[in-house]
Structure 1
Amino acid sequence: MANRRRDPRGHWILLLLGGFILAAGLLLQGYAHGAVGESPQHDHTGGGAAPAAATDGGPVLNLSGERPQSVRMPPRTIALTFDDGPDPRWTPQILDVLRRHRAHATFFVVGARAADHPGLVRRALREGNEIGSHTYTHIDMAGSPAWRIRLELGLTQRALAGAAGVHTRLLRMPYSSLTAEMSAPEYRAAREAARLGYLLVSTDRDTDDWRRPGVARIVQAATPRNGAGAVVMMHDAGGDRAQTVRALDTLLTGLSAKGYRFTTLSAATRLPAADVSASTTAKVTGTALVDGQRAAGWLAGAFATLFAVAAVLTGLRLLALPIFARVHVRRIRRERRRRARPWLAAGTTPPPVSVIVPAYNEQAGLAATVRSLVRTDYPAPIEVIIVDDGSTDDTPLIGHRLAQEFAHVELVRRPNGGKPAALNTGIARARYDILVLVDGDTVFQPDTIGRLVGQLADPAVGAVSGNTKVANRKGLIGRWQHIEYVIGFNLDRRMFDVLECMPTVPGAIGAFRRRALAAAGGLSTDTLAEDTDLTMAICRAGWRVVYEETAIAWTEAPSSLRQLWRQRYRWCYGTLQSMWKHKRSLVEGGRSGRFGRRCLPYLTIFQVVLPLFAPVVDIFACYGLIFLDPLTVAASWLAFAGAQALASMYALRLDGERLRTLWVLPLQQVVYRQLMYLVVIQSLATAMLGARLRWHVIRRTGTFSGEDPLPAQANV
């Protein structure tokens, strides 16, 4: 047996940690730029007006004492203020105009945007301007609870510490304007900020430049009357600010000629500098916030791209599979049946067949499997070889009884060596050149062998894949697997058949020429997916591998999540091993190269890469429902679900299955699909860590242990 090292477990801790970091990053990105931030303004007029002592004063308010104190601008002194930035397009242009006129201004920055563009904050300070707070996400402070106000202002201070190493004492509340228009709720919010040490700044001249009224009207609104000083409100972000840039240049040119000076609020009012150096601890935490938010922004952009790519690829697959299935139904199947007709015609003797049944602890279903084989209506001689691979239950006893009951059934016993070794033993023992390989938990219909062997009438065909169906489909797990077999496996096989690049003849049902098996070197123990490894080797040896959907085998699928995990883990890990083993087919010529270039990229994209990143896509979809446009995200998901439902309906119809099974499809997308994603992640982690996965034995429940070996669904 292979090395029985324990499966690696430490990577689950890394996976959970990575998932937590991704979720935290997206939450930060969503808070900074999504629906939680940028709160709409509420109407606060019904809450009454602020005290007259606050509304009758100047635009700079100190509310930390019992009575409000305010400061006005000196004559011919203008404090230009810009809200909502920094913006990577408009803030640099405004800074250029200020520098050209040797003027300074106060920028009330949104903390999230300062974290996104720290270089602009540093440039503004370096050129003699000052920075104020405009909250972290531009919230309506008057409509926010005290904890949210403290959070927003604290995050903005950390962003400024991380971006430029400073804190600020100035605050302009979003959606506020003239001091005289302050409402009672705004006053309460301002008092909360004052307790944290902020000076509240409103305005004397609101230019309404965000409405883009025209350069002349912006200049007119910003110009004080009769030589008075003023705090002028403009915006350097939040939309097209081309008019603001031109108006600023006109305003500076005209009023400078009239003796006005343009400076910061602190300098104009002779207050202490608003920007003070942050502590080392604040700089460290601020840098972490800035770097984390910028990384989260990059992640969100990458996830959005990944989401779009995954949606396109999945959509193309859902579109392509039914098209190839239609081609298979109309052309390929008709041609195959015509070639098989000489073997199936009356009076024509088809070739004899050897059926190999490897069995390890298959006491629950072995009798049903063998009885279904001997009850075949195949007209030529067959032999059934049961290979007991060192079973520890009653499998040898049951095999012995079957060999005594049926003359053409033989039991071969060997020490436990794995399924590939058991199959090779049976193949060496077989007398005939056509071999059918059957798992010990599988039941054939009477016509299955004939339909399989009929495709071998074409001398170019080296192997035939049958149609595996789930017998125990009554429970939810069984129904999920039933849909997966019909849609995920058999639709794919129709496409692979048309493209002549079949990667797997399933161990449950397959027919082979002995010469094709010999050309492939027999079954190998190099991988845990011996059926995939063998099929790829046959394709590389120049043989065609085809799919016969009417050759039906009923198999017992895992009945618990634990058993399902073990089976799919082995399948996925073995498939990865097989793909790596046969990677040279990508550069080979002839049929081998055609197989490699068609099959391996498809498997890599749809069975490795997309499942690997699918959890990230799902996380981003949840992120989109909360922080982006939920209708767009929901519509995308419903469109995907609808396309998959249509493809599923077509697949079920092709296989003669009832459509009522589709009721479990939505739940399958939410639960079962995620389980399969984790299987791929676990398999890749196992492969990358160099661990050797042990063979996982699936416990049988005896689905076929009754009198009739065929399940009731065989008549569907």
Structure 2
Amino acid sequence: MAERLFTRPTEPARPPRVARHGRARRVVPPPSWTVLGMLLVVLAGVLFVGAYANAAFVPDRQHTDHGQTRVPADVVDGGPILTAADGDVRSYRLPARTLALTFDDGPDPTWTPEILRVLAKYDVPATFFVMGSQVARHPGLVRDMVVAGHEIGVHTFTHPDLATLPGWRRRLEYAQTQLALASAAGVEATLVRFPYSSFANAIDDHDWPLVTEAGDLGYLTVLNDTDSLDWERPGVDRVVANAVPPGYSGAITLWHDAGGDRAQTVAALDRYIPLMKERGYRFTTVTEGLNLALAAAGIDQRAVANPPASGADRWRGTILAWAVRGADATLGLFGILFVVVGVLTIGRTVMLFVLALRHARRRRSRTWAWGPPVTDPVSVVVPAYNEKEGIAAAVRSLAGGDHPGGIEVIVVDDGSTDGTADIVDALGLSNVRVVRKPNGGKSSALNTGVALARHDLIVMVDGDTVLERDSVRRLVQPFADPQVGAVAGNVKVGNRTSLIAKWQHIEYVIGFNLDRRLYETLRCMSTVPGAIGAFRRQALRYAGGVSDDTLAEDTDITMAVGRAGWKVVYEETARAWTEAPATMGQLWKQRYRWSYGTMQAMWKHRRSLLDQGASGRYTRRCLLFLSLFGVLLPLMAPVIDLLAIYGLFFLDRTATAIAWLVMLGVQFLTAAVAFRLDREKLGVLWVLPLQQFVYRQLMYLVLLQSVVTALTGGRLGWQKLRRTGLEPAVSSGNG
């Protein structure tokens, strides 16, 4: 076995890798911030369209009369149809025994078809004042209205209070609704009804400029004579009574086909129409009623209801409709993802609290022990490539370990060009050997060290890692259980001075060490960290040695050991201090390699999902948790941030802020538990809120690019990090 491991074919990992068959593998370029920026701009545009099209509104209500000063008296005392173009103001009423049914706020996919059914039942035309955003969403309903002979009017695009908007916004509200109508039914509208409008005698100086502006734009402003008040849902009898005009006067009646439950409206119409027909009323559209009024007044002029729209407006309207429906679909998808993320987050948190705490209680029990003390000698393998900054401190910490069976340290210099091997030789430590070999990658160096190791308990430690004096002794104690094949140690961030390092420190304690407690309990540990891990030689033999098939050789070998039926456990008291990346660029490189390599390992071991026995059980659990919490949850987690930003701008800011603070509170609670279990000081958690705004987003992007790399078949280089070396004092405690 030793000979096979030593002579295992390898491929160079540093610098860029080459395939075994001599064919160069593509190295993925760094992330394109231009492309990312463009995607963010597009996403922001989609969310803005969604926010605009989903603007909330209050159902129509009677407008408060503030008193009239500049409003002409014949308007205040006139009818509900107003023309005010070029200063020529006129108002009209419908003739006696003439009714126009008008419906606001639609179309609605639930209630508009019901109302159309009642109108068709009695062969009655109506006028629908539609919202452009709803027309874009439900164009088929508008086409049905036009085909059935009903009239369409403008009720703005998003139902705002027009008097509070600047002129350009008002014109945009009208124009966008016209484009939506052009796309949906190929028509234009000449009628407009303002949101929250009421009777003619309620028009005041607040509203009058809207009327004159609409007239200059070519619109007829339509108010109403009788309001059914169906939006209040006072009961069917009350709705019918409200809509009956006094005497036998003509009237434009106000109803709603959207904006809430309209069951009373449908039932009231089914009684109102035959009732008014029995009283001798005829039903018309608003334009038809206006033409009757013009004819009765002897005016030789006819209004046109819905003239055809131009081809250009139809195309522009189609693009608008696509934008609205696309934004709706995006927001709907985000809503689903938000629920999924919430369920996964809560599920993971509950499991961490229940299982990780149970793991900690069991370990701290006075009766807990792995078995008799393990005193067998240990071989420590240190793969080293250009580690001159930290190799001396790392080797000294290993050679000075207090394991009673003795420690041999094998430093495998993997073609270093910075004198790493010479630094180790100069230490003159009797239990340290240096092996020089051509560069072949980390897996090649590890296999070389294992092959040369004299003992059956193998500890693997990175060349930039400093161990505490008792770490090796504590790390190998789980081997008292003959079923244990590998042990993960407790990796600590040594350089905690910078903000980036503090964030990583929090991540190590919560995301790595707390998770390992959970995964040991579930028998699905996926990674024995390269910084500090121990293996039985027999387990390595069963697993086939350390493979160079992936960039995450630690995950790959751990999964192979787990599939072979060995237990993989976590020993939190065996601490190792590593140097975390100090810049965003270095952090990106490291995490990019980790996440991409993990996906490679998952793909490599996928076929064992169908295995029987221990291999299948381990793989199904391991890949399930890695897929859900290592890939799917981080990929979808940005939805939380996007919806938080969206909510602050377009939804209830207080509710959004409270929801975000609750999420942060859950993270604080999880962090506090993890830090207490790891005996870490809580003071560093003051940077946790800041982590939400920079660090998390970087991790999202890293994982996203890793997924893109995997899907496109790219090949990632080793991404060697720059090291500055840990201070020896770091290894002295657990501060």
Q: Tell me the distance in 1 between the aligned counterparts of 2:734 and 2:225.
A: 85
**Counterpart position of 1:346:** none
Q: CA deviation at 1:316?
A: 1.5
The partner residue of 2:672 within 645, 649, 657 is 649
Matched, 1:567 2:590: yes
The partner residue of 2:385 within 324, 345, 360 is 360
Matched, 1:464 2:495: no
* Higher mean C-alpha deviation, range 242-251 or range 524-533: 242-251
Q: CA deviation at 1:665?
A: 0.8
Q: Tell me the distance in 2 between the aligned counterparts of 1:299 and 1:650.
A: 36
Match runs of 1:145-294 below 5 Å: 145-270=166-291, 271-294=302-325
Match runs of 1:502-541 below 5 Å: 502-541=525-564
Matched, 1:351 2:365: no
Q: CA deviation at 1:384?
A: 1.0
Q: Tell me the distance in 2 between the aligned counterparts of 1:698 and 1:62.
A: 75
Report the secondary structure of 1:57's partner residue.
coil
Q: Tell me the distance in 2 between the aligned counterparts of 1:483 and 1:80.
A: 65
Report the secondary structure of 1:234's partner residue.
strand
For the 8 Å contact 1:358–1:388, the answer to whether it is kept is yes
Matched, 1:392 2:413: no
- Segments of structure 2 that go 5 or more residues without pairing to the other structure are 1-11, 19-24, 292-301
Q: CA deviation at 1:49?
A: 5.8
Report the secondary structure of 2:370's partner residue.
helix
Report the secondary structure of 2:580's partner residue.
coil
**Counterpart position of 1:714:** 733
For the 8 Å contact 2:370–2:481, the answer to whether it is kept is yes
Counterpart residue type for residue 483 of structure 1: I
Q: Tell me the distance in 1 between the aligned counterparts of 2:129 and 2:217.
A: 17
Counterpart residue type for residue 452 of structure 1: L
**Counterpart position of 2:115:** 94
For the 8 Å contact 1:78–1:262, the answer to whether it is kept is yes
Matched, 1:376 2:407: no
Q: How many residues align?
A: 704
Using the size of structure 2 for normalisation, the TM-score is 0.92
Q: CA deviation at 1:549?
A: 0.3
**Counterpart position of 1:77:** 98
Structure 1 residues 11 and 393, CA, compared in 2 at 3 Å: closer, same or farther?
closer
Matched, 1:127 2:148: yes
Q: CA deviation at 1:26?
A: 2.3
For the 8 Å contact 1:467–1:509, the answer to whether it is kept is yes
For the 8 Å contact 2:156–2:174, the answer to whether it is kept is yes
Counterpart residue type for residue 649 of structure 1: A
Report the secondary structure of 1:296's partner residue.
helix
Structure 1 residues 38 and 686, CA, compared in 2 at 3 Å: closer, same or farther?
farther
**Counterpart position of 1:312:** 343
Q: Tell me the distance in 1 between the aligned counterparts of 2:135 and 2:732.
A: 64
For the 8 Å contact 1:36–1:627, the answer to whether it is kept is no
Q: CA deviation at 1:635?
A: 2.8
Q: Tell me the distance in 1 between the aligned counterparts of 2:510 and 2:156.
A: 52
For the 8 Å contact 1:303–1:616, the answer to whether it is kept is yes
Q: Tell me the distance in 2 between the aligned counterparts of 1:339 and 1:308.
A: 41
The partner residue of 2:574 within 547, 551, 555 is 551
Using the size of structure 1 for normalisation, the TM-score is 0.94
For the 8 Å contact 2:107–2:258, the answer to whether it is kept is yes
**Counterpart position of 1:326:** 357
Q: CA deviation at 1:10?
A: 7.8
Report the secondary structure of 1:410's partner residue.
strand
Q: Which deviations, in whole Å up to 9, do the C-alpha atoms of 1:465-523 show, x marking residues without a partner? A: 11000000111011101011111000111111111221111111011111111111111
Q: Tell me the distance in 1 between the aligned counterparts of 2:60 and 2:687.
A: 40
Counterpart residue type for residue 204 of structure 1: D
**Counterpart position of 2:648:** 625
Counterpart residue type for residue 362 of structure 1: E
Q: Tell me the distance in 2 between the aligned counterparts of 1:57 and 1:147.
A: 29
Q: Tell me the distance in 2 between the aligned counterparts of 1:633 and 1:419.
A: 47
Q: Which deviations, in whole Å up to 9, do the C-alpha atoms of 1:2-30 show, x marking residues without a partner? A: 24634146876665444433332222221
Q: Which deviations, in whole Å up to 9, do the C-alpha atoms of 1:581-625 show, x marking residues without a partner? A: 111232212222221121111110111111112223321232233
Report the secondary structure of 1:338's partner residue.
coil
**Counterpart position of 1:438:** 461
Q: Tell me the distance in 1 between the aligned counterparts of 2:109 and 2:216.
A: 33
Report the secondary structure of 2:598's partner residue.
helix
* Higher mean C-alpha deviation, range 184-193 or range 364-373: 184-193
Q: Tell me the distance in 2 between the aligned counterparts of 1:87 and 1:274.
A: 22
Structure 1 residues 46 and 464, CA, compared in 2 at 3 Å: closer, same or farther?
farther
**Counterpart position of 2:688:** 665
Matched, 1:401 2:432: no
Q: CA deviation at 1:414?
A: 0.9
Q: Tell me the distance in 2 between the aligned counterparts of 1:41 and 1:373.
A: 83
**Counterpart position of 1:60:** 81
The partner residue of 1:497 within 520, 538, 543 is 520
Report the secondary structure of 2:469's partner residue.
coil
Report the secondary structure of 2:237's partner residue.
helix
Report the secondary structure of 1:386's partner residue.
strand
Report the secondary structure of 2:497's partner residue.
coil
Report the secondary structure of 1:78's partner residue.
strand
Structure 1 residues 712 and 370, CA, compared in 2 at 3 Å: closer, same or farther?
closer
Report the secondary structure of 1:517's partner residue.
helix
- Segments of structure 1 that go 5 or more residues without pairing to the other structure are 344-349
Structure 1 residues 335 and 310, CA, compared in 2 at 3 Å: closer, same or farther?
farther
Q: Tell me the distance in 2 between the aligned counterparts of 1:584 and 1:226.
A: 83
Q: CA deviation at 1:286?
A: 0.8
* Higher mean C-alpha deviation, range 213-222 or range 425-434: 213-222
Q: Tell me the distance in 1 between the aligned counterparts of 2:67 and 2:403.
A: 88
- The two structures, once aligned, show a CA RMSD in angstroms of 2.2
